[in-house]
């Protein structure tokens, strides 16, 4: 969590809108993976 509930909700909404995701290639088969995806937000005024 970022410490900002509104920002956290916005990021989760963005991820939900981007799904469903394509399957991973067979060579990446594993029980779990960790991905770091940079997301930049600019506050509108």
Query: How many whole angstroms separate alpha carbon 24 and alpha carbon 33?
Result: 10
Q: Which residues of 10-23 are buried (b: 16+ CB within 10 A; e: fewer)?
A: ebeeeeeeeeeeee
Residue 1's contacts (CB-CB under 8 Å, 6 or more residues apart) are 8
**The predicted structure's pLDDT at residue 13:** 92
| CA-based nearest residue to 38, from 20, 11, 6, 17 | 11
Identify the three-state secondary structure at position 9: helix
Q: Which tens digit of pLDDT belongs to each residue from 1-45?
A: 788 898 889 889 988 998 888 888 898 888 888 888 887 877 777
């Amino acid at each position: 969590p970022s410490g900002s509930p509104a920002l956290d909700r916005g990021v989760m909404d963005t991820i939900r809108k981007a799904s469903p995701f394509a399957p991973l290639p067979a060579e990446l088969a594993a029980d779990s993976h960790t991905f770091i995806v940079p997301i930049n937000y600019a506050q509108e005024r």
